[in-house]
Amino acid sequence: MRFILAFLLCCVIPVAHAAVVTQTVRPGIPASADYRVGDRDKPAVLLIHGFLQTREFHTVATLADGLHDAGYTVLSPTLSLNIPARAQSLPCEAIHRHSLDDDVDEISRWVQWLKAQGHRSVVLLGHSFGSLQLLAYLSRQPDPVVKGYLGASLVEAQIGEADRGALIAQLEDRVRRKQRDLVSQPLSFCRKYTSAPADLLSYLRWDQPRTLAALRQAPVETRLIMGDSDNLLGHDWMKALRHIRTKMVVVKGANHFMDGEHEFDLLARALELLGQFNNKVAR
């Protein structure tokens, strides 16, 4: 199956051009995206990378190549993280001056950009934390042009061994007191993530219950692709996803990044699920 898929994709002639496009997402903050035009009869795919990464990260870059080769229009932004024209991953050790609200605002702007190009249907596709950011966007009155959501290796905002409730209460108190001193705290794969209280809070509030609720209440069809050898997931995360009867495909042996031999598995599952969205849009 993998050999056949690889052969077919290698034989496809690209249906149109690719270009790097830019827009100003906040005053003084330009951001860019790779835009590859495909078949206008298929939904455009907005592809979002993982935490602190860029669109060049191998999982999303390989996925973008494969989806476009299969005829889909793909828009792959690099979220700015409040850095003008950011083109490199941001290290954990940096001082982080971005929030989930900023991320969601940028996603909204890229959806609007696709809409302005004449795309009548958009499917959101994220990897890892990008899947969470897209869920956050869906929870805030998404544009009707968005027709579906596909999350690969979805995670909640992990914070290590800290008491999340106590930490949130402390940060909320700092915000009320207008204290802006930076706070360091484990977040996602970062052991030490330094940020302002309000910005850090925007991520910490997305725990397992809130992420699960966002999946259940999403205003569009949702699908997940998960690896059963993913050791970066939170405690009982796969069990929780199954409990709410999330529509999910599990790739045997795949890790969080679905790299190596599982790249074709990820692409094949993504194409299969996108085809389901495509059929519903066509009706």
109-163, pLDDT tens digit by residue?
A: 999 999 999 999 999 999 999 999 999 999 999 999 999 999 999 999 999 898 9
157-216, pLDDT tens digit by residue?
A: 999 898 999 999 999 999 999 998 999 999 999 999 999 999 999 999 999 999 999 999
Percent of the chain topping pLDDT 70? 92
Percent of the chain topping pLDDT 90? 87
pLDDT computed for residue 1 by the predictor? 44
Average pLDDT of span 257-264: 93
Long-range contacts of 96-102 (CB under 8 A, 24+ apart): 96/193, 96/194, 96/195, 96/199, 97/195, 97/196, 97/199, 98/199, 99/198, 99/199, 99/202, 99/203, 100/133, 100/136, 100/202, 100/203, 100/206, 101/202, 102/26
Work out the mean pLDDT of the chain and round it to a whole number: 92
Q: Does the pLDDT of residue 15 top 60, yes or no?
A: no
Q: Does the pLDDT of residue 11 top 80, yes or no?
A: no
Helix (H) or strand (E) holding 119: none
Domain 2-90+98-156+207-282, CATH among 3.90.870.10, 1.10.10.10, 3.40.50.1820, 3.30.420.480: 3.40.50.1820
Chain centre distance of CA 5: 25
Residue ranges matching CATH 3.40.50.1820 in the chain: 2-90+98-156+207-282
Q: Which of 79, 214, 109 is nearest to 157 (CA)?
A: 214
93-112, pLDDT tens digit by residue?
A: 999 999 999 999 999 999 99
pLDDT computed for residue 267 by the predictor? 97
The DSSP string of 79-112 is --TT-TT--SPPPTTSEE---HHHHHHHHHHHHH
Under 8 Å between Cβ of 31 and 80: yes
DSSP state at residue 261:
G
Q: Does the pLDDT of residue 234 top 90, yes or no?
A: no
The pTM is what?
Answer: 0.92
